[in-house]
Amino acid sequence: MSATATDHDIVIDLREVVTRFGAHVVHQNLNLQVRRAEVFAIIGGSGSGKSTLLREMILLHCPDAGSVKVLGVDLQHLSPEAALALRLRWGVMFQHGGLFGSLTVLENIGLPLREHTQLGNKLIDEIAAWKLHMTGLKPEVGAQFPAQLSGGMMKRASLARALALDPELLFLDEPTAGLDPESAAGVDELVLHLRELFGLTIVMISHDLDLLWQVADRVAVLGDGTVQGVGSMTELAQMEQPTIRPFFEGARGRAAQPASFRPAQPKEPSSKPK
């Protein structure tokens, strides 16, 4: 693959990122790349800097050193106009929805269109209704307020709003957190459907091992301020780093593994006399 093709295929490029909060070092010379049209997940223990890294990718926090490029744009020293233009190219689904409680679901979904386009109200409502449908919600949900939604419906409504401007890049912050297994499985299917339908690049933070096995093309494990390993879940499951093993050991880690994945088991010693 040529250098030009490689550059074109890199949607997010973090180089030697350093992040500190006072004396506490969160990221230390962290490097990470996300490829076009892949579902890329970031995992790590509590305090490993996952949420901070996401905030740095979406222009909510500036690292102390290093470079962050998203969609080919270096995020350092962007003008307000350039920052806005870049934000319009991605969508974000926040962990707790982030919907405005005083607006209906349909109004929440249409809000980015009202703020950033010259479209008429009727067309905006039609687009918002289509985004609602795309995420699996019934039309009548559009007239409800966020406080009336279940956790799963809130996630889907937030995702519909993130898709309002037809983004190239989608960020999902804990998309299945707090959901029952059936609702979480629905999110799994929805993520894959959206990637296939629109060719989206999807970056997500998640602790949901089932979700990671089902939808992630590659997963980055954060620990000790840097990336401990990157690969498919199958590849990571075969790595021996102490910061990676806990995600695959124990009852929870084993239960999430698909039936097709069978790590090699040590042979039982023979009981027959020689």
Domain final residue, candidates 122, 148, 166: 166
pLDDT of amino acid 198? 87
Sort strands 10-21 and 65-70 into parallel, antiparallel or unpaired. antiparallel
Q: Is the distance from CB of 51 to CB of 173 less than 8 angstroms? A: yes
34: in domain: yes
Per-residue pLDDT reduced to its tens digit, 177-197: 888 888 888 888 888 888 888
182: in domain: yes
Cα-based angle 174, 175, 179 (whole degrees, multiple of 5):
100
268: in domain: no
> Does residue 26 sit in the same domain as residue 84?
yes
Q: Which residues contact 161 (CB under 8 A, 6 or more apart)?
A: 91, 99, 108, 109, 111, 112, 131
> Does residue 81 sit in the same domain as residue 159?
no
Quickly count: other Cβ atoms within 10 Å of residue 137's Cβ: 22
157: in domain: yes
Domain final residue, candidates 166, 192, 207: 166
Query: In total, how many domains does the chain have?
Result: 2
Cα separation, 147 vs 187, in Å, equals 20
Sort strands 201-205 and 39-44 into parallel, antiparallel or unpaired. parallel
Helices (H), 39-120: 50-57, 80-87, 105-116
pLDDT of amino acid 3? 43
Per-residue pLDDT reduced to its tens digit, 62-119: 999 999 999 999 999 899 999 999 999 999 998 877 899 999 999 999 999 999 999 9
Cα separation, 114 vs 36, in Å, equals 29
> Does residue 174 sit in the same domain as residue 161?
no
Per-residue pLDDT reduced to its tens digit, 194-211: 888 888 999 999 988 889
> Does residue 111 sit in the same domain as residue 247?
no
pLDDT at 269 over 60: no
pLDDT of amino acid 240? 86
> Does residue 55 sit in the same domain as residue 180?
yes
> Does residue 117 sit in the same domain as residue 223?
no
> Does residue 158 sit in the same domain as residue 247?
no
266: in domain: no
Between residues 272 and 64, which one has the greater pLDDT? 64
Residues of the chain above pLDDT 90, percent: 65
174: in domain: yes
Q: pTM for the full model?
A: 0.87
CATH number for the domain including 22?
3.40.50.300
> Does residue 235 sit in the same domain as residue 132?
no
State the residue range of the domain holding 65: 8-89+168-255
pLDDT of amino acid 1? 39
pLDDT of amino acid 229? 95
> Does residue 107 sit in the same domain as residue 58?
no
134: in domain: yes
pLDDT of amino acid 165? 95
> Does residue 27 sit in the same domain as residue 85?
yes
214: in domain: yes
Q: Is the distance from CB of 170 to CB of 93 less than 8 angstroms? A: yes
